[in-house]
Every structure is written in C-alpha cells, then in structure tokens.
Amino acid sequence: MDFDTENRILPSDIPSDATDFGRRRVLSVLAASAAAAGLSPLSEPAVAQAARGLSPAAGASKAPPVPPFKRNARWSVTEAPNSWDDITTYNNFYEFGLDKSDPYEKAQAFRTRPWSVDIAGEAEVTGRFTLEDIIKPHALEERVYRFRCVEGWSRIVPWLGFPLGDLLKRFRPTSRAKFVEMTTLLDPRQMPGQRTGVLDWPYVEGLRIDEAMHPLTLLAVGLHGRWLPNQSGAPLRLVVPWKYGFKSVKSIVRIRFTERQPRTSWNVAAPEEYGFFANVNPAVDHPRWSQAKERRIGAGFLAPRIDTLPFNGYAAEVASLYRGLDLRRFY
C-alpha cells in the first residue's frame, strides 16, 4: 500500500493523554541446520494453507492450555499490576482502528491460529516456522514490567513470555546481523485499519541486535497468566520495557536480521516525532508535549500524574547500551 500523506494520521494527531485527555521468502532452509536448531520449517502445503488464511471451521487450531510458569523476580518490578480489563480494553493497534476501544471491539474475530513466522536475512537458519515451533523449546515466565506509551499513559503489565534473544540465537545470526526487523501480519480483510492510509502497512519495528539480545527484551505470548488476547497482539508480540510502547510490535509474522537499520513505521511516518531508538526519556519532549510525567491507567483521571523515569526505570540495566550516543539527538 502506498503511503498516503493526505490521509495520514499520527498518534499525535489524535486527542491523547498528552494533549487534552479527550480524546516471505520461500523455504530456502538448510534442513540440516534447522533441525540442529530444533526447528522444522513448514512444508509447502502448510505454507500455502497458512497463506490462504483458512476459516476457523476449515482449520483454525484451538490454543492449548497455558503451560505452567513462574514469575521471574529478577526482571520484575514490585508495583502492583494493572487489571486484565485495564490492559485489554484500552489499546493501540491501528490495524483495528484509531480509538483506544477499537482493538477490543474489532479484533475479536481475528484468527491467530494457525500462525507462522518467517525468519529471514543474515542468519544461518531461515525459513517459515509454526508458532508451536517458535514457542515450544522456551520455558515461559511471567515478568511484571512498566509500560510507557509515547502518548503519556502508562501501566504495569504481568507479561508471559520468554527472552527474544533466546529465540534469535536458535537461528544463528551471522556477524552481519546488526539489527532485527519485526513485522506485523498484513491482512486487510481481517484488519480494517489496513484498508486506510493511516500508516504504510504492514507495521514494522526494529531493534539494534544488542537491544534485541538484552535479557529484558521479551517476546510475549500472554499476560495475567492467559494467552494474549487479540487486541494485545496475539499470538506473539514484542515488549521492550525501556522504550516507548510503539516499539512493541504486535502479531509478528516476520523476523529479519539486517545489516542496515530497518525502516520502522513511525520513524518513516514522522521522523521528527518518533526516533528509531525511542528510549523513554523525560528530558526530551515530544515536539508537541512534555514527556516529563505520565498518567497511570486505572488510577483515575483525578490522580496526579507521576514522574516518568529515564529508560522507564530500567537505566541501571540498559543505559550502558547507549554509551557515547547523544540521546537528545538519537532518541
């Protein structure tokens, strides 16, 4: 879809907290190396099936029970998590509309099983893998993270997932893999927002490889002990707790290792407003509002806003990744 500057709407064009409260690749997989990595690429017929987008009656699989998991205290904050309703009825997922209630209201019929993920680019193991292949070898853990949207709201989320780095290592990135690009499903039939020119679809995000490999960077498959609901980015979404929420790309179908910095959706749409790094930084204002404070969802509109912390409170863990980088210029 061509980028349509006429119809373009930026998150910042929408009445936000910060302003007024109002509001592919063929299976060229080395089978041997895939097997060595504990992965079995999909067969062609299965790929074709997944690509056709079968109706639920014709083949959508039911989600299995969530396996047992433990909370990882090392990587969890002690603040009380927001409720399931707080986390799943007020969302940004522009593929389903621009209002915060749209994802909850319009994503319920979205089919997230069967699901597959393409692994591409600078890695020894590439190909298309089922969701089950992606998840299975990893022990799921709960991590309670702070989450800060660039619009000025925040919440505390008990994610269920596993470190992205553990998955990436299975594909054996080459020395040329300097970045990781992640892409959301493109399916305008299922995603009404993709029939509009709000963004240049599909939604793309990316990280530098060291950010992607950082132990805090999570691939989430659930929250509050349940599988992710569709509006939260089922069946697989990224969570990078020290960055603004728009880096946390939802419903991922492709992971590509690249030598060059990926062209990410919001950075392309409005480079002066949304940097590639997007590290939470109360000292660098958005061009149209301050980032010094945030509104905690669920606290009530009258509750005083709280201070936003550098790197969203994760400076001790991640500030060293950016040594020597001017974070006022490269935000």
CB 49 within 8 A of CB 59: yes
Please state, as a whole number, how many other Cβ atoms lie within 10 Å of the Cβ of residue 72: 16
- Decide whether 98 or 327 has the Cβ nearer to ligand MTE: 98
Residue closer to ligand MTE, measured from CB, 94 or 171: 94
Helix (H/G/I), strand (E/B), else coil: 225: coil
Residue number with CB closer to ligand MTE (107 or 140): 107
Binding site for ligand MTE (CB under 6 A): 11, 91-95, 149, 184, 203, 232-233, 245-246, 248-251
Q: Which residue, 127 or 245, has its beta carbon nearer to ligand MTE?
A: 245
Q: How far is the CB of 298 from ligand MTE (least distance, A)?
A: 13
- Distance between start and end Cα atoms, the chain: 28
- Of the candidates 191, 285, 279, 213, the residue with the CA atom closest to the CA atom of residue 1: 191
Smallest separation, CB 195 to ligand MTE (Å): 15
Length of the chain (residues) = 331
Residue 189, H or E segment: none
Task: Pick the closer one to ligand MTE by CB: 14 or 60.
Answer: 14
The beta-strand segments (E) located in 137-178 are 141-148, 153-163
- Measured at CB, which residue is nearest to ligand MTE? 245
Which of 158, 30, 136, 145 is closest to 84 using CA atoms?
158
Q: Which two tokens stand for residue 226?
A: 């349940």
Residue 244 and residue 145: Cα distance in Å, rounded? Answer: 13
- The least distance separating ligand MTE from the CB of residue 232, rounded to whole angstroms, comes to 4
- The token pair at 236 is 């697989």
| Shortest spacing between CB 331 and ligand MTE, in angstroms | 16
Question: Which residue, among 22, 181, 195, 168, has the nearest Cα to 94 in the 3D structure?
Answer: 195
To the nearest whole angstrom, how small is the minimum distance from the Cβ of residue 274 to ligand MTE?
Answer: 9
As given in the structure block, the two tokens for residue 272 are 């002066």
Instruction: Give min distance, CB of 219 to ligand MTE, in A.
Output: 13
Nearest to 184 by CA among 231, 236, 148: 236
Output 37 or 90, the one with its CB closest to ligand MTE: 90
Q: How far is the CB of 283 from ligand MTE (least distance, A)?
A: 20
Report the residue number, 111 or 170, with the smaller CB distance to ligand MTE: 111
